[in-house]
Chain A
């Protein structure tokens, strides 16, 4: 996860810019009196966010694989609730938690 997102996770009101993240020229600029957050705290939050991100992979996979709402409504109309549930279950089974 990026530095700016980690900072906002620590301080949602933070005003900050991050240039050239991940390079030797990386620079964090704090704006409008935002209190600086230590690099260690930022890195700890980045690790925490990455874990949460990785744990939610199945959600992203499912979100991209579900049929469109229009197709799901059509499925409901033609196949009823059980047919629709079977369609959805196929995606859930393909991308388990």
Chain B
């Protein structure tokens, strides 16, 4: 069918897929098309981890996403099972994007800036505390891969902290768990 331009402002005869790839971008679309999920990735970590580090170190909860548009935002969520030791230990968590802390408290003197923190009590070595959080980034600004990590450190105490396991595994009623980190690309 021949392409025709009518005097009433309409175009007829344009085939599906008839426009060159990329000639219409998300920013060109009418309002109301933003906020859609463009892609979703999830990583489940079902092994265990323990640490005694007093500086930020990576947990195995790491995920990378390559945005399809620089204007997109990334919705980050996680759900992790942590546990302390017989002796109380302070466990701090922070999220990072490409190596920089995100979703972290404002500076407040010398106080310890974290995304979240728990201090399991004695006898909490038998059970999990589940930490869940989410965060929407700003526009990513590029279509390069964005790497998100959960880091943790022991900020108080002298014993170990645990992910997906408890310190005490001396009885079959002790749990082992799975932790999850997810990212969703949200259109502008």
Contact = CB atoms under 8 A, between A and B. Distances in A.
A14 B51 CA distance: 10
Interface residues of B, number: 20
The size class of the interface chain A forms with chain B is 20 to 34
Where chain B touches its partner, the secondary structure class is loop
Interface centre among A14, A17, A19 (most CB of B within 10 A): A17
Contact of B170 (A7, A25, A53): A53
A12 B158 contact: yes
B42 interface: no
B167 interface: yes
A23 B170 CA distance: 18
Contacts of A25: 47
Contacts, number: 64
A33 to B, nearest CB: 11
A83 to B, nearest CB: 27
B53 A18 contact: no
Given A5-B159, A17-B49, 15 more contacts: A2-B162, A2-B167, A2-B169, A4-B50, A5-B85, A8-B159, A8-B160, A15-B52, A15-B55, A18-B49, A19-B47, A20-B48, A20-B49, A21-B47, A21-B49
Interface of A: 2-5, 7-8, 12, 14-23, 25, 29, 31-32, 53-54
